Amino acid sequence: MSRLQELSPNAEIVAKDAALAVNIAAASGLQNVLKSNLGPRGTLKMLVGGAGQIKLTKDGNVLLHEMQIQHPTAALIARTATAQDEVTGDGTTSTVLLCGELLKQAHRYTSEGLHPRVIADGFDIARDATLKFLDEFKIDYSPNKTTTNKNDGDDNNNNIDDNDSSNHDNKVLQDRELLTCLASTSLKTKLEHDLADQIASAVVDAIQCITPENYTTNTPIDLNMVEIMTMQRKLGSDSRFVNGLVLDHGGRHPDMPKVLTNCHIMTCNVTFEYEKTEVQSGFFYSNAEEREKLVESERKWLDERCRAVVDFKRSVCKEGESFVMINQKGIDPLSLDIFAKEGILCLRRAKRRNMERLTLACGGSPIHSVEDLDASMLGFAGKVSEVTLGEDKFTFVEECQHPKSCTLLLQGPNSHTIDQIKDAVRDGLRAVKNAIEDQAVVPGAGAFELAAAMNLRDVVAKATKGRAKLGVEAYAEALLVIPKTLAENSGFDVQDCILKLTDAREDSGCTLAVGLDCTSGDPMIPADEGVWDNVRVKRQCLHLSTVLASQLLLVDEVMRAGKQMGRAPEGADDM
């Protein structure tokens, strides 16, 4: 009997080998759930909620968030994997697969009597060696590196002044083809291929729009400047990049123009309606004439404000130009009528986040008083149009000259399609952002995992002395779970594909990055096919999965301590 049970008879305990078996079973179970989702040929999962809601997805992060996981070990792995997604935006499924496979491989040795601590030490050695190999294997685009995965020529560039503007040229940001391939690789794991190619181009346009020209890696890219707007109409393939902003409200007067070109955009936070006083007050009158005078004086105050805007519009608009006013506060019907007669498109009670993005997209600055009206405070848009969809109105502010904010308009025939695209777009944006900030990419299609596993077997394992070598070999075998799963999900023989890949890399003298072609099952060169992964995703995945697997290996007791909150222990009433 455990000492804990002597102290607390209600405690439930799983000890030693049984505890390890429980943890491995939980990790393997979660691995088997997500295994079939990996890669461009992975399958979908249907999630059904308690009220009958249905969600179709193959995004590991969405699955782990939506599934109800009761096993504590599986819940721990799920939380770790979703933390990976929050940090890097991708790699959730890979983390779960690698963690589960590490525990499976460790079980082969622990079942023969090897102590888990020895395996954990081997895992740490293998992880450090793999991370070092990742830095050599990646394609580095930083200014003081060449674009190969060798470190040749570093000594010649160490004395370059960091303040030199030529050093701030981000080669990844300028290489549109590379960014498109990177976004496409991420999106194809979650969307149909033709749609993924189209969305990838829109994602790259969005990132290049919000990234400043003098960008340096010291300042992160703010993805909040990309507005993701959804409209349930047409097809998913009609989703597109909007060089401007899409607002989810429209004009409030039937006579206002629906389409305008060469528009001056006035963003303001000025009231054009009767306001309540800040202190409690009231109007007192003794007859109808006095009441009419009070109403007339209030109306005159508003009319003067409207007249100031109309005069301002006439002074700044030349022939062929138009005027759009987007106000954060209210505009009453009579004021709207005045603006409509003048041909001004007015939007009232705009959302604050839209107001902030408008000035970034169109230029100009917010106006807080009609006395501050000045032409320099106006933005510009080539086209402003209003679209009505059922009872909802949308306003498109497009063709901005120097936008620092933009919109991805996602369309689809139903909510399932739109949700699927929205989840994928988030990962695509993060993938492109990561590549620009890392200034490096790594060949995908399982090429890195295969190369790292061969490096561990051929170099690191031979250099490691003692029983820790067994942990290194187990780690090398576990890394192959990625290419094996890709082959399995594509419908090919797993062992045959791994042997082909290994032979192809050995034939190249272990200098060529070789990945799996998921359509034919043959080896291919990811760089030629445009299949790229993020360096930080690989690095984070290796860190998290190894640490978690090592921690779970070293668990020798799982206890539910049996403490009953707020209840007196049994027999307390008898004392």
Question: Above 70 in pLDDT, residue 2?
Answer: no
pLDDT of residue 319: 84
pLDDT classification of 169: cutoffs 50, 70, 90: low
pLDDT of residue 167: 40
Helix/strand/coil for 226: strand
pLDDT of residue 6: 56
Sequence-distant (6+) residues with CB within 8 A of 423 are: 57, 59, 61, 62, 190
134 vs 158 pLDDT, higher one: 134
Question: Above 50 in pLDDT, residue 36?
Answer: yes
Rounded average pLDDT over 439-455 = 89
235 vs 143 pLDDT, higher one: 235
Q: Tens of pLDDT along 172-198? A: 778 888 888 888 888 888 888 888 888
pLDDT of residue 46: 86
Sequence-distant (6+) residues with CB within 8 A of 516 are: 445, 446, 483, 486, 487, 490, 497, 501, 523, 524
User: Quick check: do 3-141+442-560 and 154-243+414-438 share a fold?
Assistant: no
CA angle 15, 17, 23 (to 5 degrees): 85
Residues in the chain: 575
Instruction: Note the pTM of the prediction, 2 decimals.
Output: 0.80
Q: Retrieve residue 496's tokens.
A: 């045959």
Q: How many CA atoms, within 13 angstroms, populate the side-chain half-sphere of residue 472? A: 22
pLDDT of residue 150: 41
Instruction: Provide the CATH number for the domain formed by 3-141+442-560 in this structure.
Output: 1.10.560.10
Q: Tens of pLDDT along 452-469? A: 999 888 888 888 888 888
pLDDT classification of 313: cutoffs 50, 70, 90: confident
pLDDT of residue 565: 43
Question: Above 60 in pLDDT, residue 8?
Answer: no
Q: Tens of pLDDT along 83-129? A: 888 888 888 888 899 999 999 888 888 888 888 888 889 999 999 99
479-497 burial: b if 16+ Cβ within 10 Å, else e = bbbbbbbbbbbbebeeeeb
- The CATH H-level (homologous superfamily) assignment of domain 154-243+414-438 is TCP-1-like chaperonin intermediate domain (3.30.260.10)
Rounded average pLDDT over 49-75 = 83
- The CATH H-level (homologous superfamily) assignment of domain 245-402 is GroEL (3.50.7.10)
Helix/strand/coil for 432: helix
pLDDT of residue 156: 37
pLDDT of residue 563: 55
For the ranges 156-160, 292-296, 311-315, 356-360, the lowest mean pLDDT is seen at: 156-160
Question: Above 50 in pLDDT, residue 340?
Answer: yes
pLDDT classification of 3: cutoffs 50, 70, 90: low
Query: What share of the chain in percent tops pLDDT 90?
Result: 3
For the ranges 21-25, 161-165, 545-549, the lowest mean pLDDT is seen at: 161-165
Rounded average pLDDT over 443-451 = 89
Q: Tens of pLDDT along 415-429? A: 888 888 888 898 889
- What span, in angstroms and rounded, lies between the C-alpha atoms of 443 and 441? 7
pLDDT classification of 166: cutoffs 50, 70, 90: very low
Whether the Cβ atoms of residue 122 and residue 114 lie closer than 8 Å to each other: no
343-370 burial: b if 16+ Cβ within 10 Å, else e = ebbbbbebeeebbebbbbbbbbebbeeb
Question: Above 60 in pLDDT, residue 485?
Answer: yes
Question: Above 80 in pLDDT, residue 501?
Answer: yes
For the ranges 390-394, 431-435, 466-470, the lowest mean pLDDT is seen at: 390-394
Question: Above 60 in pLDDT, residue 224?
Answer: yes
- What span, in angstroms and rounded, lies between the C-alpha atoms of 440 and 170? 10
pLDDT classification of 20: cutoffs 50, 70, 90: confident
- List Cα–Cα distances, 521 to 32, 493, 507, in angstroms: 22, 8, 18
Q: How many CB atoms lie within 10 A of CB 529?
A: 15
Question: Above 50 in pLDDT, residue 30?
Answer: yes
pLDDT of residue 560: 67
Best CA proximity match to 428, nearest among 243, 199, 220:
199
Domain boundaries of the chain, sorted by first residue: 3-141+442-560, 154-243+414-438, 245-402
Q: Retrieve residue 374's tokens.
A: 């000045």
Question: Above 60 in pLDDT, residue 506?
Answer: yes
Average pLDDT, whole number, for the chain?
Answer: 81
